Homo-oligomer: A and B are copies of this chain.
Amino acid sequence: MTSGTPSLEWTDLDKKAVDTVRLLAADAVQKVGNGHPGTAISLAPVAYLHYQKLMRHDPTDPHWAGRDRFVLSCGHSSLTQYIQLYLAGYPMTLDDLKSLRTWGSQTPGHPEYRHTPGVEVTTGPLGQGVANAVGFAMAARRERGLLDPSAAAGESPFDHHVYVIASDGDLQEGVSAEASSLAGTQQLGNLTLLWDDNRISIEDDTNIAFTEDVAARYEAYGWHVQTVDWTNGGTEYVEDVQALWDAYQAAEAVTDRPSFIQLRTIIAWPTPNAQGTGGSHGSALGDDEIRATKKLLGFDPDQTFIVDDDVIEHTHAVRERAAAERETWQTTFDAWTSANPDNAALLERLKNRELPAGWDADLPVYEADAKGVATRVASGEFLSAAVAGLPELWGGSADLAGSNNTTPKGEPSFLPPERSSAKFQGDWYGRVLHFGIREHAMGAIMNGIVQHGLTRPYGGTFLTFSDYMRGAVRLSALQELPVTYVWTHDSIGLGEDGPTHQPVEHLASLRAIPGLDVVRPADANETIVAWKTIMQTTDRPAALILSRQNLPTFPRGVDGYASADLVSKGAYTLIEADGGTPDVIVFGTGSEVQIAVKARELLAAEGIKARVVSMPSREWFEQQDASYRDEVVPPTLRARVAVEAGVALGWRDVVGDAGRIISLEHYGASADYQTLYDKFGITPEAVVAAAKDSI
């Protein structure tokens, strides 16, 4: 490779350490009786190269801001990461490795964020890690832009690299394809992906399903592509670590494109019989095979979990390299802090995910207006008003910016300037994200952005296409990441585009996801408070569900209408029954709250007293104390009606046996929305009839 690149030292002790890794992987899976040994064995030198030679990281401080990021997209091979964490001296012991995949251990089946120090991201669902890594690389650029935009390339304390190891499975998944294409557009020079091209997956030889030229595909995406063939065309397997090292050096020298390294390997090499087999992917090797491998590698076949002192002493020395690198880094960082006190304060604030004082002083407030505003429009106005005070808030859409109202006014796009279009001005450090028509990658990229540490992304599409991105949404919730999903066109209320675009089951199905806040505001003011509440939440993702059509803006604080501030409680009495003491409660969310309000009037004309409860978020309401909940929904008041333009599933919990639910149990149709509400019986009159029935 190019001269002047760092040289690789790879001694016999390194080789012994790598063989130690292989046997630890084999033993750990064998002990618990299940797991994925094959890749952990053959990729041992690759993982070791990362943690011992390549990456800047500090085992004594897994959260060090100067660290490179590592994503094991093939999370099933979790031992690939756990064993390196152990050898490098992270909080990971040999006993932890012996406890693989057991209750309460530091070593679950797949790497888990927030669970195991040194794990940057939960992986396992294939393809996600590749997209997370793209998010990491994008976040690194945005964060640099916020904190140290004028530093020369590579000179900022915020410059670092993102490494991802991906398997065949990762690269078959559409989500990785989407993210990889976008990474090419974004010219993410700080990203290097290694593809473990072992041509084995669970159904064995990938020739039955994966015959494309993957390297050529990544070239088509605009990546820098290299191939290292340890199989030497199938003739002889040589773990040429130097060649791989050289490829990494070349990759890092290319700073205007992400890098793709195709590494041809044989799974489970050098085990004598399991190598190259699908069986080694996901099953314990068996005692005989492990003994044979130990013999082959010069280890004692009668021992398990062998780690010689010289090995651990050698690998722990990475801490010294880390200390030296950290000292250098700290000098740079301290100089930056002194020179940039405001940005240093910003960094502290962002690290703690604190909001600045007064950030919400100038948010829009809407006057009562029967014609009203679409909640998607109010959401857009929130963004335009809020972003000046919240540099951490950035986002965009999966090609529906104008429909999702996700572009704050006057903000540049996060784009290489050469990609600017007539409509969008690109800036390396810009704010507006253009995901393309790639919902799944959008979700996974946002997860990576949050995990990178400092910023808060949002991403928009139509609610119906939340289906395309559930794999990522679930991981937002599982990892407690404050990602905000902006899902507009939230019901049959979108009208003419018809049933493919009209969500019906989506509210229910999203409410089913543990840890996801589903928030469907009823008018413009509710939308603003919903956004405020979301921004005050740092450990959960939110789904903001917004209307395409205008919704009336309710009066606030007059005519009996409550303040929209109560949205933060998840549900509240929007307007009490005339004369107090209601005969019935009518619950609504979003665009159906206006129907509840009209029904209340119709009922009043018949002498029936109805309370209208706006319930934008079931999850927020459940977090309130019992006294508040009982105040809004008195347990003794059993006459209840819920109205929502979606399936009833889940509403029985709210309305009880005596309650009635006005819902939509089938798909929509293509017509104007007023016709659809009428034809499908989601009307004030239907609510009135249901209320009488319930009473």
Chain A positions within 8 Å of B, measured between CB atoms, are: 32, 34-35, 75-76, 101-105, 108-110, 112, 122-127, 168-169, 172-178, 181-182, 184-185, 201-214, 216-217, 219-222, 278, 397, 399-403, 413, 415, 419-424, 426, 434-438, 440-441, 464-465, 467-468, 470-471, 473-475, 478, 495-501, 504-506, 508-515, 647-650, 652-653, 656-657, 665-667, 669-672, 675-676, 679
Contact = CB atoms under 8 A, between A and B. Distances in A.
Nearest to A215: B220
Nearest to A35: B496
Nearest to A402: B202
Contacts of A177: 174, 177-178
A661 to B, nearest CB: 10
A480 to B, nearest CB: 10
A220 B214 contact: yes
A400 B76 CA distance: 14
A620 to B, nearest CB: 16
B202 A401 contact: yes
A220 B209 contact: no
B514 A666 contact: yes
A209 B435 contact: yes
A670 B108 contact: yes
Given A102-B671, A504-B514, A185 B202 contact: no
Nearest to A473: B467
Contacts of A473: 467
Given A102-B672, A177-B177, A470-B470, 18 more contacts: A32-B496, A101-B497, A109-B670, A112-B670, A173-B468, A174-B176, A201-B437, A203-B399, A203-B402, A205-B421, A209-B399, A211-B222, A212-B221, A217-B217, A508-B508, A509-B509, A652-B653, A657-B657
Copies of this chain per assembly? 2
Contacts of A515: 666-667
Most buried by B among A101, A181, A435, A511: A181
Contacts of A127: 437
A213 B123 CA distance: 29
B436 A210 contact: yes
A212 B220 contact: yes
A274 B419 CA distance: 22
Q: Which 3 A-B pairs have the closest CB atoms?
A: A174-B174, A108-B670, A209-B436
A499 B112 contact: yes
Contacts of A647: 512, 514
Contacts of A509: 505, 508-510, 512-513
5 contacts: A103-B672, A185-B210, A506-B512, A508-B650, A649-B649
Contact of A203 (B125, B168, B401, B505): B401
Contacts of A474: 467, 505
B422 A205 contact: yes
Contacts of A174: 173-178, 438, 440-441
B109 A403 contact: no
A501 B75 CA distance: 11
A208 B415 contact: yes
Contact of A649 (B76, B403, B511): B511
Contacts of A399: 169, 172, 201-203, 209
A411 to B, nearest CB: 14
Contacts of A419: 207-208, 211
A467 B127 CA distance: 13
A512 B649 contact: yes
B478 A422 contact: no
Contacts of A495: 34
Contacts of A670: 101-103, 105, 108-110, 112
Contacts of A101: 496-498, 670-671
Contact of A679 (B103, B181, B182, B438): B103
Contact of A75 (B109, B211, B500): B500
A465 B221 contact: no
A504 B661 CA distance: 26
A110 B210 contact: no
Most buried by B among A126, A127, A670: A670
Contacts of A34: 495-496
A174 B207 CA distance: 21
A581 to B, nearest CB: 22
A220 B177 CA distance: 13
A500 B35 contact: no
A175 B671 CA distance: 28
A435 to B, nearest CB: 7
Contacts of A105: 670
A184 B214 CA distance: 12
A8 B513 CA distance: 56
A220 B222 contact: no
B172 A178 contact: yes
Contacts of A510: 509
A491 to B, nearest CB: 14
Contact of A657 (B212, B497, B656, B667): B656
A573 to B, nearest CB: 22
